Amino acid sequence: MAAAPAVTTVFGALSDPTRLAIVERLLTEGEHSAGEIAAPFAISKPAISKHLRVLEEAGLIERRVARQWRVCRIRPEAIQVVDDWMQQYRRFWEGSFDRLEKLLAAREGEESDNGRPDK
């Protein structure tokens, strides 16, 4: 059982536009070889190869050898890690929208804000 990657590691892997585009393509189109993945990009093959390694080490993709190709596919478990994080904090950030509205509304009426931070 591959241990679930840390959410910061997954975030880091998805923070590069090239890697995000690779992930999006594998998500929507399924498996692709390294060469197919590299094709749309202006950067070199070795650069793509290193991005694939980062994605693999973050648990976002896995590779298998098929004839002369190394084929990549998404590991949805890693994306689940992000979804779990969102889920864990959802009520807080969804609540923030409401609190923000309330705060702005309150600011309209009274102006008795001592400005001291919480705690």
Residues between 80 and 119 that touch a second copy (CB under 8 A): 80, 82-83, 86, 89-90, 92-94, 96-97, 99-100, 113-119
Number of residues that bind DNA (CB under 7 A): 29
**With binding defined as CB under 8 A, does residue 14 bind a second copy?**
yes
Rounded to whole angstroms, how far apart are CA atoms 37 and 116? Answer: 52
DSSP states along 21-77: HHHHHHHHH--EEHHHHHTT-SS-HHHHHHHHHHHHHTTSEEEEEETTEEEEEE-HH
| The entry of DNA, a second copy, none that residue 25 binds, CB within 5 to 8 Å by partner kind | none
Kindly list the residues in this chain that would bind DNA in the complex (CB under 7 A). Answer: 12, 15-16, 18, 33-36, 38, 42-54, 63, 65, 67-71
